Amino acid sequence: MKISITAAPAVAAALAILGLTLATLAPLGSARAQTAATPAQTTSDDITVTRDNTPAQVIHHADWSSFRRIETTQKDRDGASHVYSGVAVSDLLQKAGVPMGKALKGENMSQYLVVKAGDGYKVLFALPELDSAFAERTILLVDTMDGRPLPDGKGPLRIIVPGEKKPARWIYEVRTLAVRFSAD
């Protein structure tokens, strides 16, 4: 009896500490798990590049000056021409360590890119579609149309696929470039 009376506060104290500790650790744990998938500090003009077995990398819009800038004139669905300016998706991927050019061969030929947008829309490209060693056209991630930031709701970053008959892969609100090996 004496033991339980004296032990009870100790147990309660221990439980309280444990409870506090668990309460403190649980959110930290989940925050860390999220950071690995999508860094929490990104803004809408940051691009997160994810690859199999590699920590996510963020390319900030402010760092685009280190990439060559490319322009393309494309017709919209109403037939009106617009000049888009941006960077080659292949250059962004190469910077993040994705095999392009001479390295795009062998087992890397089964890698693909899923581009994900803020509204949940996703589109897929095979890596050779993006690589100038294979493709005539250059698929761009653009930040301007006719010299101005993209219109509200269509930016801040958008994929432009020159020469495609439907603009369904012209994905806007782009946030993530996810490169994966085919599971099959």
Ligand X SMILES: Nc1nc2c(c(=O)[nH]1)N[C@H]1C(S)=C(S)[C@@H](COP(=O)(O)O)O[C@H]1N2
Interacting residues of 82 by C-beta distance below 8 A, sequence separation 6+: 73, 74, 75, 76, 145, 146
Interacting residues of 167 by C-beta distance below 8 A, sequence separation 6+: 76, 77, 161
Using rule CB under 6 A, residue 84 touches ligand X: no
Using rule CB under 5 A, residue 168 touches Mo ion: yes
Q: Which of ligand X, Mo ion, none lies near 143, with the C-beta cut-off 5 to 8 A by kind?
A: none
Whats the size of the chain, residue-wise? 184
Using rule CB under 5 A, residue 7 touches Mo ion: no
Using rule CB under 6 A, residue 172 touches ligand X: yes
Q: Tell me the residue type at 152.
A: D
Q: And the tokens for 149?
A: 């930031």
Using rule CB under 5 A, residue 121 touches Mo ion: no
Stretch that binds ligand X, among 41-49, 92-100, 105-113, 164-172 (CB under 6 A): 164-172
Using rule CB under 6 A, residue 117 touches ligand X: yes
70, 86 contact by CB (below 8 A) = yes
Q: Which of ligand X, Mo ion, none lies near 121, with the C-beta cut-off 5 to 8 A by kind?
A: ligand X
Using rule CB under 6 A, residue 167 touches ligand X: yes
- In 14-99, which ranges are E strands? 47-51, 54-59, 70-75, 81-88
Which residues of the chain form contacts with ligand X (CB under 6 A)?
76-77, 117, 119, 121, 154, 167-168, 170-173
